[in-house]
Structure 1
Amino acid sequence: MQTNYPNRITGTAIPELTFELLSGGQWNSQAKMHYAFTLLTIYRGMWCGHCKHQLMELNRLHDEFSARNVNMVAVSADTLERASSTVVELNLDKLEIGINLPIEQARLLGVFVSKQVKPIEMPLFCEPASFLIREDGTVFAAWIASNAFARTEPADILAYLDFVKDNAARPPRGSA
């Protein structure tokens, strides 16, 4: 039984994380961020119905996030082909999608990792998580799940952004 837990990350710099983007280029957690926040969403993969719902909601609310000066990117361990088929199937025309999420880098974020149970799944994949990262590269909020169910809805993250906008100096919760 594993008893070591990852360090809490709210209030600290996001660990090194780099992955390819479907649109070309790479996303790197250490690169300068040009938004008040970046919402990094990690999803399980193309087979997950809950992920599909979440991705469609993120895509639908893209302009709402942009209006709050929030950049969004969603990533999974899926390959180029698998992620591309998800984008086409769900008509994700606004949401930036990353591919080939390095599992060991994701573990540094405290993301839960699962082994393949069904043939359609990747051999190893991340369970869902969302990270709200400040412009300075620190994690302001984190929502991490150990399974597909009961994840944070994008609309709830929007409500949280509206709540904290007038309290920008407040420390991140969970950082004590």
Structure 2
Amino acid sequence: MSKDARDCADVTADPVTAANGKTAVLYRMALPSHLCPAGQKARWLLERHGYEVDDRLFRERSEVDAFKKSHDVPTTPQAWIEGERVGGYDDLRQKLTNYDPDATTYKPVIYLFAVAAATALILSIGFLGAVTWQTLGWFISVSMILLGMQKLRDIESFTTMFLNYDLLAENG
């Protein structure tokens, strides 16, 4: 079980010497008005991979700013494992899970089509009592709705992409 979070970050203790074996040192924000989600995810990831977390919380903004300046880091959380600084949450995730943010993954699209297929089957069996050709129509319809919703996640990017395919906008 990990150590309880401290009332405030111990910036005087050297994280390099404290981060040995299966103990990781994690500095993260827990301000009265903001609990850092990346810090929470970093702690969960460390615990999931069997590390005892020496959790050092910043309770005031001035502590965060002083820490970032003294360690020359742009952000918190910051983690140390086996005597060396790993970095923030993204760096920690890459180290512990071999996650590659630039790798192409088709999992979201596969999940989207799986949900569309399940929805079409449920609609078909619910309304018609059997799987018919209408199931394929519902699958396509639900897929188009879900794909359209994906575009709403980043409208700016979608409109820019759309303009790249608009021949009239190119000549304008």
Shorter-chain-normalised TM-score: which range? 0.3 to 0.5
Higher RCO (C-alpha under 8 Å, 6+ residues apart): 1
What is the TM-score normalised by the length of structure 2?
0.34
What is the TM-score normalised by the length of structure 1?
0.34
Of Structure 1 and Structure 2, which has the larger fraction of its residues in strand? 1
Of Structure 1 and Structure 2, which has the larger fraction of its residues in helix? 2
